[in-house]
Amino acid sequence: MAGAFVLLSAAIAAVCFIPPPAAAQGCKSQNFGSNRVFASCSDLPQLSASIHWTYDRAAGNLSIAFVAPPGAEGGWVAWAINPTGTGMVGSQTLAAFRVADGRMVVKTYDIKGYGPLEESKIAFETADLAAEYVGGTMRMFGTLKVGKEMTVVNQVWQVGESVTAGVPDKHAFNQDNINSKGTLDLILGVSSGSGDSGTRNRNIHGILNAVSWGILLPIGAIFARYLKTFQSADPAWFYLHVSCQLIGYIVGVAGWGTGLNLGSKSKGVQHTTHRNIGIILFALGTLQVFALFLRPNKDHKYRFYWNIYHHLVGYTVIILGIINVFKGLKILDTDQKWTTAYIIVICILGGIALLLEAITWMIVLRRKSRNAKPNGGSNAI
């Protein structure tokens, strides 16, 4: 069991600390012609995008070129400044896509919520809006009058797979799409993305929950189920079981808390099933902890019913915990090999449990046979 625990911990840690996909490199090599030359450029950390800009502080004008491949053929790209926050809501957006007659167009959107987009004026005056499609990449150009004092802006960028009736459809919610935001220092010529911190927070959430609900609680159940069969392990099995479950619960609550924090920072991003299972796990886990303090004595008439409750809730938590680990791995969008590694380790734990189950029954049956009174022979008169 210890070897399986170490292996699974290493696998989850490796999964969770996989760095985010590298952004496209080489913005300095991109050429837009002699009429479009920019003072600064930066390769953005998500969606293989780059941003070029020139800031005329005297006039308060920001000229930009945003370059990114759309989510699919016939998709769209967008870049925005958010003067009121760091996410999508409040973004003053420029979006480029191809319309029905084959032309590339740029439209503006004031993003006020998570519903369907409606073309609208934005908070900044715009000029020279244009777009082109070159070698599978969309290039969007424009000038925004941001003013003389807005020297650092919150930027958001995005790509989508389709356009319907001249309106960009909802984008994907992969890790890159969620993390495509950061800041742009117009004076220093520095662009930053939030992908590293966002990914790190998700990785911490994944590690805490995988180790707690997905590893420690199953191992604690194995201690309780099988070690108590051996008389020499009493009461050590009980303390091992309680310690393992309490540590698992504490770590799990920390993971649950990080999940709540991630949810509050990712408005509009819904992983409903994963979230609901997490809430159920927290509720049942908390119930188990409090039930420990209400455990009747062995000879109490209600002990039998308490045992039924304890086993039923405990196994439910273990099953839901393992299911939610798999759902979390899918949300993290890790390589299949890491999910396969987790499957292998769960199978190892399951194999250990089956082996111990067989040994337990052998010991129990042998004790019953040894303690049975002999029935043979006749009574002498």
> Is the predicted pLDDT of residue 279 greater than 70, yes or no?
yes
> Are 81 and 212 contacting, i.e. CB atoms less than 8 angstroms apart?
no
> Is the predicted pLDDT of residue 19 greater than 50, yes or no?
no
Take residue 143 and report the two structure tokens written for it.
């000038």
> Is the predicted pLDDT of residue 78 greater than 70, yes or no?
yes
Which pLDDT value is given to residue 15?
39
Other beta carbons within 10 angstroms of residue 375's beta carbon come to 5
> Is the predicted pLDDT of residue 246 greater than 80, yes or no?
yes
Band (pLDDT 50/70/90 cuts) for residue 191 is: low
Which pLDDT value is given to residue 124?
93
Which residue in 159, 210, 155, 158 sits closest to 184, CA to CA? 155
Peptide bond into 235 cis (omega under 30): yes
pTM of whole model > 0.85? no
Q: What's phi and psi for 357, nearest 5 deg? A: -65, -45
Q: What's phi and psi for 173, nearest 5 deg? A: -120, 45
Cβ-in-10-Å burial (0-12, 13-18, 19+) of 210 comes to buried
Take residue 346 and report the two structure tokens written for it.
């769960």
Rounded to whole angstroms, the Cα distance separating 77 from 71 reads: 8
Which pLDDT value is given to residue 25?
46
> Is the predicted pLDDT of residue 24 greater than 80, yes or no?
no
Across 82-91, 112-121, 182-191, 249-258, which has the greatest mean pLDDT? Answer: 249-258
- Alpha-carbon distances, residue 314 vs 149, 257, 262, 362 (angstroms): 59, 21, 27, 25
Contacts of residue 108, defined as CB under 8 A and 6 or more positions apart, other chains included, come to 92, 93, 94, 95, 119, 120, 121, 122, 126, 129
Of 11-15, 108-112, 142-146, which gets the smallest average pLDDT?
Answer: 11-15
Band (pLDDT 50/70/90 cuts) for residue 315 is: very high
pLDDT digits (tens, 9 = 90+) for 60-69: 999 999 999 9
**Percentage of the residues of the chain whose pLDDT score is greater than 70:** 86
Of 157-166, 188-197, 315-324, which gets the smallest average pLDDT?
Answer: 188-197
Band (pLDDT 50/70/90 cuts) for residue 14 is: very low
